[in-house]
């Protein structure tokens, strides 16, 4: 037995080549971000002579200048409003819809799931063109609320599937007991079910909020005014300028990335679980 | 809040009948049922309304507009199949389609391989798994515009990685200093795909890893007793066991590759000289620069048909091979 055991255990220790490959992949993933961080601290002169290396003199003033010139303050505020409204709206839409599909007497059964699957995999390009003129007619074009409604529609099918999967696995005993006690349907939903499905709702809201913060195609199509632009658009126009100052672009890019990276690092397990279910659940 | 619920529930479950009077209890099911049905429609209404308004409604309108000469403002006139005829004969659409196919092949091979190999190696670690997983996933949470800002510097002919490598003194690297990765028509598409890969592959890795972690370890023990090394473990156990995930992500890769827009638009806008144009950028230009909404809708139909055929092909394959995915 021990003769069999030994080689098995020996092989479970990763070989050096494993560490080398994993290290190279880690460098590939994070290295470019380190260059971005380094460049954000260089002066425009230094970036010409030393584009990839460690910054010599740290010019923190880049951040103030980028903040000013790329209109980051207003743009971040716009993005915060859009991401928060998207997260909250998607959470409400997905939770109520998933509850109706799993717990209430909603006619249709499996057809709803098929419809969710189809609409979550329809290309945005399919409805983009008519949507622009519909939104102009409705006065929603070039309005943050118009963009937020689109995000609600685009991100809620997946979120509904996610919350639904969680609800399906949840035992119904507590709900039955509360009903026998005379609790109304709304009471059962709000006081019994909602606290129990909070993790799934939070994951769905986080993923939707992050996606709306990063989203580009719909934002660039539906928001024209600079004052209404989310940060993705202001960073885009800032790097399109024809005398591009890479140290300022790097600083602006870092300002945009920082909230997301911090949020991700603090709640990485919830994020990754949400995305994993996106890759497998459908 | 959860504990409060739990205790209420437990005490209730113990003595359910003692409370409500009998007749009321018997009268309730029908009323409760009706109430639940009404509430069901109220609860599903927000999803239904936003979906019809944003996705389903305009989606169906697109089908109609694709048969018209609509310019986005005036009255659309029915033109039959002429948009489709023009699309099929168009060089711009043809070369965009070729770029989409090349893009698909690239994404089926390069990020998939990186994700698979990375996940396999990571799944064999007993420590530091979370650490690496987080590092690899960071690019995925970044916005397209952020990773574009990173890589436009790194691919810059004057100050980028190429220029840095050319100064190392190695003869075969010297030419890299003059390479304009995003500006050279024969390199631009590959460069854009490379940048998108950087952001994308960590997502694949994390999903492959989750899938590999659910493989029964006893299977690995069995082949190890036969003297199999890591490579054979990968081919004979890991790949067959994660096949459902592999096939599903392959399917999604194909669909997403035909819809790709952000990276091309942000990095090159389809240029130089149309060398990175894909169907989505052609559609976008026809709709919003040339105001040819009818024609753009026909391109949208082409995209939707490609997506639908991919899904149908997947379902047929699954049925034929009797996969229980």
Residue B28 has what pLDDT? 52
Distance CA A41, CA B233 (A): 47
Question: Inter-chain contact B54–A131, Cβ cutoff 8 Å?
Answer: yes
Please check whether residue A217 touches B, CB under 8 A: yes
pTM of the model: 0.87
* Own/partner pairs, B161-165, CB within 8 angstroms, 24+ separation: B161/A52, B163/A51, B164/A51, B164/A52
Mark out the alpha helices in chain B (DSSP H runs): 2-14, 22-50, 57-65, 82-89, 91-123, 129-141, 144-154, 161-166, 188-213, 217-225, 230-233, 239-241, 243-259, 262-267, 279-288, 293-320
User: Any idea what DSSP says for residue B78?
Assistant: B
pLDDT tens for each residue of B240-261: 999 888 988 998 899 999 999 9
Tell me which of B13, B30, B143 to substitute to probe the interface with A (most A C-beta atoms closer than 10 Å): B143
Q: With contact defined as beta carbons under 8 Å apart, do B12 and A178 qualify? A: yes
Third-level CATH fold of B88-320 = MetI-like fold (1.10.3720)
CA-based radius of gyration for chain B = 27
pLDDT tens for each residue of B105-138: 999 999 999 999 999 999 988 888 889 999 999 9
**DSSP per-residue codes, B45-59:** HHHHHHIIIIIIHHH
Kindly report the number of other CB atoms within 10 A of residue A230's CB atom: 29
Question: Inter-chain contact A99–B55, Cβ cutoff 8 Å?
Answer: no
Q: Find the closest chain B residue to A276 by CA distance.
A: B207
Instruction: Give the range among A267-271, B60-64, B84-88 with minimum mean pLDDT.
Output: A267-271
pLDDT of B22 above 70: no
- Read off the pLDDT band of B24 (50, 70, 90): very low
Domain spans of chain B, in order of start = 88-320
- Read off the pLDDT band of B19 (50, 70, 90): very low
Is CATH 1.10.10.60 the right assignment for the domain spanning A65-280?
no
Regions of chain A where pLDDT drops below 50: 1-11, 281-282
pLDDT tens for each residue of B179-212: 888 888 889 999 999 999 999 999 999 999 999 9
Contacts of A196 in chain B (CB under 8 A): 2, 5
CA-based nearest distance A138→chain B, Å: 11
Instruction: Give the residue from A86, B178, A132 showing the smallest Cα distance to B187.
Output: B178
The number of angstroms, rounded, from the C-alpha of B86 to the middle of its chain's C-alpha atoms is 29
* Token digits of residue B132: 């690496």
Residue B7 has what pLDDT? 33
pLDDT tens for each residue of B130-180: 899 999 999 999 999 999 999 998 888 877 777 777 777 677 777 777 788
- H helices then E strands: how many in chain A? 16, 0
Contacts of A210 in chain B (CB under 8 A): 141
Taking phi over 0 as left and psi of -120 to 50 as alpha, with beta for the rest, B187 belongs to alpha
Residue B37 has what pLDDT? 86
């Amino acid at each position: 037995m021990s003769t069999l055991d030994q080689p098995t255990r020996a092989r479970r220790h990763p070989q050096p080549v494993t560490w080398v490959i994993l290290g190279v992949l880690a460098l590939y993933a994070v290295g470019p971000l380190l260059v971005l961080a380094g460049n954000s601290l260089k002066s425009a002169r230094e970036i010409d002579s030393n584009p990839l290396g460690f910054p010599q003199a740290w010019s923190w003033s880049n951040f103030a200048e980028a903040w000013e010139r790329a209109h980051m303050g207003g743009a971040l505020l716009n993005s915060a409003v859009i991401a928060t409204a998207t997260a909250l709206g998607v959470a409400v839409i997905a939770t109520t819809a998933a509850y109706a599909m799993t717990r209430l007497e909603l006619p249709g059964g499996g057809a709803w799931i098929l419809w969710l699957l189809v609409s979550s995999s329809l290309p945005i390009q399919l409805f983009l063109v008519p949507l622009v003129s519909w939104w102009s007619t409705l006065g929603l074009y070039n309005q943050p609320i118009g963009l937020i409604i689109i995000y609600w529609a685009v991100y809620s099918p997946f979120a509904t599937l996610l919350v639904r999967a969680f609800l399906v696995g949840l035992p119904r005993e507590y709900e039955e007991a509360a009903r026998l006690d005379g609790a109304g349907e709304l009471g059962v939903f709000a006081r019994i079910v909602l606290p129990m499905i909070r993790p799934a709702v939070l994951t769905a809201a986080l993923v939707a909020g992050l996606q709306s913060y990063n989203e580009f195609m719909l934002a660039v199509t539906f928001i024209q005014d600079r004052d209404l632009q989310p940060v993705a658009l202001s960073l885009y126009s800032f790097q399109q300028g024809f005398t591009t100052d890479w140290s300022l672009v790097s600083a602006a890019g870092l300002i945009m990335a920082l909230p997301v990276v911090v949020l991700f690092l603090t709640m990485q397990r919830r994020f990754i679980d949400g995305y994993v279910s996106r890759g497998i659940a459908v | 809040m959860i504990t409060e619920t739990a205790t209420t529930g437990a005490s209730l479950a113990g003595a359910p009948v003692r409370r409500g009077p009998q007749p009321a209890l018997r009268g309730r099911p029908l009323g409760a049922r009706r109430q639940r049905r009404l509430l069901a429609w109220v609860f599903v209404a927000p999803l239904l309304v936003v979906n019809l308004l944003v996705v389903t409604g305009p989606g169906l309108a697109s089908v109609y507009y694709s048969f018209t000469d609509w310019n986005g403002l005036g009255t659309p006139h029915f033109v039959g199949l002429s948009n489709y005829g023009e699309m099929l004969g168009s060089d711009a659409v043809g070369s965009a389609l070729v770029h989409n196919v090349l893009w698909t092949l690239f994404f089926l091979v390069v990020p998939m391989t990186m994700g698979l190999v990375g996940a396999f190696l990571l799944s064999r670690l007993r420590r530091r798994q979370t650490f690496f997983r987080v590092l690899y996933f960071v690019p995925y949470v970044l916005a397209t515009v952020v990773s574009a800002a990173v890589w436009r510097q790194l691919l810059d002919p004057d100050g980028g990685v190429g220029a840095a490598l050319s100064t190392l003194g190695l003869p075969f690297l010297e030419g890299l200093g003059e390479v304009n990765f995003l500006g050279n028509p024969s390199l631009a598409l590959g460069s854009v795909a490379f940048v998108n890969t950087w952001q994308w592959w960590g997502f694949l890795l994390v999903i492959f890893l989750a899938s590999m972690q659910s493989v029964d370890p006893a299977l690995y023990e069995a082949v190890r007793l036969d003297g199999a090394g890591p490579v054979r473990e990968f081919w004979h156990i890991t790949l067959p066991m994660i096949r459902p995930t592999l096939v599903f992500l392959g399917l999604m890769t194909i669909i997403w590759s035909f819809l790709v827009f952000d990276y091309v638009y942000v990095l090159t806008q389809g240029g130089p000289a149309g060398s990175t144009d894909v169907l989505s950028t052609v559609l976008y230009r026809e709709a919003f620069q040339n105001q040819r909404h009818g024609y753009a809708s026909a391109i949208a139909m082409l995209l939707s048909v490609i997506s639908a055929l991919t899904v149908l092909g997947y379902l047929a394959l699954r049925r034929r091979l009797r996969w229980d995915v």
